[in-house]
Amino acid sequence: MATRSWWGWGTVDEAVTGTERTALTSRVAALLPEADLTVHEPPDPRSLSVPAPRVLVPDSLARLASDELGDRIRHGHGQAFRDVVRSLLGRVDYVPDQVIRPRTEQDVIDVLDWCTSARVAAVPFGGGTSVVGGVELGCAPDYSGTIALDLGHMDRILELDRTSRAARIQAGILGPALEAELRPHELTLRHFPQSFEFSTLGGWLATRAGGHYATVYTHIDDMVESMNVVTPVGISASLRVPASGAGPSPDRLFLGSEGALGVITDAWVRLQDRPRWRAGASVVFDDYGNAVAATRTIAQSGLFPTNCRLLDPVEAFINAATNTAGGVLVLGFESADHPVDQPMHRAVQICLDHGGRVPDGIRTTDSADTGTHTGAADAWRTSFLRMPYQRDALAAQSMIVETFETACTWDRFDALRAAVLAAATAAFESIGVAGVVTCRFTHVYPDGPAPYFGIYAAGRWGQTVEQWDEIKTAVSEALHTCGATITHHHAVGRDHRPWYDRQRPEPFAAALQAAKSTLDPAGILNPGVLIDPSK
Ligand SMILES: Cc1cc2nc3c(=O)[nH]c(=O)nc-3n(C[C@H](O)[C@H](O)[C@H](O)COP(=O)(O)OP(=O)(O)OC[C@H]3O[C@@H](n4cnc5c(N)ncnc54)[C@H](O)[C@@H]3O)c2cc1C
């Protein structure tokens, strides 16, 4: 079995080395010649000073618990740039006292009962890929101890309904295992966040994750039929129906609840037949305004492409090796039911009407002909899955490499992009670093895009976390001022709290506070995310 990296993304074997490292370094040196790209190695985790566990588990739970140092360290942080760099610097700011791995719903109930009575804070833990401080509790002085409640042993498909195309799946299952179990049934959940390999169904539900498809079924919210959630005061099991108008939806309360209201143990999710027909094209533009207009027209056309990823010129240069003044629109369609040439041709025509060019033409595949499920989209996905490893390599070379994701209506996009670029540039100047900002759309809706901004800046070793924090604050303020959301799919966690608290309406905050007090009266569930427990 592959060894997981304790400090960074994925597995040790997959880390960037050799020619990949050389190529990456020379690309960055060309972009930012002033960058000091000396490679810094992570410390030996056994050399780190970590306090002994503050709390011991009762005998009845001992079979589920681990206080092994490496296990505790790996459960004390997520996978954001600032998490990776702090680990590289040997700064393990938070380490849970115990890691507890329940195997059954009753185990979860027993753990929460103990936490409530012993005043131990419990952080539900899926794959630990949070990028918003969602699993990093901090020192928690008000509690007698802290645990990571790792759902990784609850990882099975419990029931499959082929007729309705749905399955009841345990929360701790990782993306690849979930898809592998569905494949023999020719079914797929078709939810592929970039973190797919190392994140779980429960994590996706608890953070309202977004997959990499651009339109229609891409948010995990839309794939949920019903959910089973263990709260400290009882189990909330919603009715399994395709739709219901019976008042506010119980599922909507727990989707995005980030471990603060209950522990999701399993869910019935909607499945789809595996796609067979695919079409893809890359459209090059000379003018970014025209590229945005073409993308908006496609988003409003009712064509619903699978992929509609507009890369701005800097993003196209860095991540698609394409030199263009107006950016590149990566278009894709797929279907399990019919060929998709027609919608693709219509989408391309819209681009041509806006001055786009399609130098490489349209690529179509039929997996029944090729005998495989691979294609251009899968090749792109492979490079997409490589990006986190490259981010970590650059983080170890003093680079600040991180992203912001948001959503706004089309009428506000131009002003938003200008404000983000201005805020980031001012922050670069204030901290004295050279940097660039990129923008791509990860998702598009008829009424607006979800822009995803990338930051590449030449930081100073030992200071890149604080430098990033300054950039993050400046850009988050710009998002707030422009009326854009503080997060489109990465969730709130602890890092986005200052802006989330200002974004949500006060009566809603009061209702959320009441829900927290009712479901978790002792305030033991993931304190600090979303809303604070009542004193
Ligand atoms: C390189 C990289 C790429 C990413 N790409 C995407 C992307 O494309 N789309 C996207 O949406 N996000 C993305 N993310 C963010 C992250 O992967 C998602 O938020 C993901 O949904 C977290 O799942 P997880 O299983 O790792 O959850 P964790 O990180 O373990 O937990 C996240 C939050 O959910 C809570 N939680 C976890 N499991 C449960 C449960 N069973 N019950 C109750 N609460 C629970 C935790 O307490 C925590 O608050 C990315 C992150 C990285 C590092």
Q: 21 CA distance to ligand 1 centroid (A)?
A: 28
Is residue 487 within 8 Å of 496, Cβ to Cβ? Answer: yes
List the residue whose alpha carbon is closest to atom 8 of ligand 1. 193
Is residue 290 within 8 Å of 354, Cβ to Cβ? Answer: yes
Q: 201 CA distance to ligand 1 centroid (A)?
A: 9
> Which residue in 136, 126, 18 sits closest to 84, CA to CA?
136
Separation in Å, CA 94 to CA 76, 146, 352, 502: 5, 10, 53, 27
Q: How far apart are CA 515 and CA 53, in angstroms?
A: 31
Is residue 308 within 8 Å of 282, Cβ to Cβ? Answer: no
**How high is the pLDDT of residue 189?**
97
Helices (H) and strands (E) in the chain, counts: 16, 18
> Which residue in 336, 326, 425, 427 sits closest to 373, CA to CA?
336
Sign of CA dihedral 7, 8, 9, 12: negative
> Which residue in 314, 313, 349, 355 sits closest to 331, CA to CA?
349
Q: How far apart are CA 376 and CA 309, in angstroms?
A: 14
Q: 208 CA distance to ligand 1 centroid (A)?
A: 9
The DSSP line for 386-410 is HHHHHHHHHHTTTEEEEEEE----H
Is residue 201 within 8 Å of 177, Cβ to Cβ? Answer: no
**How high is the pLDDT of residue 451?**
98
Q: How far apart are CA 293 and CA 305, in angstroms?
A: 16
Q: 202 CA distance to ligand 1 centroid (A)?
A: 8
**How high is the pLDDT of residue 320?**
80
List the residue whose alpha carbon is closest to atom 22 of ligand 1. 203
Q: 328 CA distance to ligand 1 centroid (A)?
A: 29
The DSSP line for 410-431 is HHHHHHHHHHHHHHHHHHHHHH
List the residue whose alpha carbon is closest to atom 5 of ligand 1. 194
Q: How far apart are CA 186 and CA 26, in angstroms?
A: 43
3-state secondary structure of 131: coil
Quick check: pTM over 0.85? yes
Sign of CA dihedral 203, 206, 212, 213: positive
Q: How far apart are CA 467 and CA 470, in angstroms?
A: 5
Q: What's 49's DSSP letter?
A: -
**How high is the pLDDT of residue 371?**
47
Q: 295 CA distance to ligand 1 centroid (A)?
A: 29
**How high is the pLDDT of residue 385?**
79
Q: 199 CA distance to ligand 1 centroid (A)?
A: 6
Query: What is the position in ligand 1's atom list of the atom closest to the CA of 262?
Result: 43
Tokens of 49: 């000073």
**How high is the pLDDT of residue 319?**
81
Q: Could you tell me which residues come within 8 angstroms of residue 502 by beta carbon, excluding any fewer than 6 positions away?
A: 480
> Which residue in 22, 96, 90, 11 sits closest to 52, CA to CA?
96
Query: What is the position in ligand 1's atom list of the atom closest to the CA of 254?
Result: 43
**How high is the pLDDT of residue 140?**
82
Per run of 10 residues, the mean pLDDT along the chain (length 535 residues) is: 91 94 92 95 93 96 97 97 97 96 98 98 98 92 96 98 98 97 97 96 98 94 97 98 96 98 98 96 97 98 97 89 92 97 98 97 84 46 81 98 97 98 98 96 98 97 98 98 98 98 97 97 96 83
3-state secondary structure of 272: strand
H-helix or E-strand spanning residue 367? helix 367-370
**Taking CB atoms and a 6 Å cutoff, what residues make up the pocket around ligand 1?**
9, 78-79, 123-131, 134-135, 151, 171, 193-195, 199-200, 202-204, 206-207, 209-210, 258-259, 263-264, 388, 489-491, 526, 529
Q: How far apart are the first and last CA of the chain?
A: 45
CA torsion, points 478, 484, 486, 491, in degrees to nearest 10?
A: -160
**How high is the pLDDT of residue 380?**
52
Tokens of 234: 């009882």
Q: How far apart are CA 123 and CA 120, in angstroms?
A: 10
Q: Could you tell me which residues come within 8 angstroms of residue 248 by beta carbon, excluding any fewer than 6 positions away?
A: none
Query: What is the position in ligand 1's atom list of the atom closest to the CA of 210?
Result: 11
Q: Could you tell me which residues come within 8 angstroms of residue 18 by beta carbon, excluding any fewer than 6 positions away?
A: none
How many other C-beta atoms are found inside a 10 Å radius of the C-beta of residue 188? 18
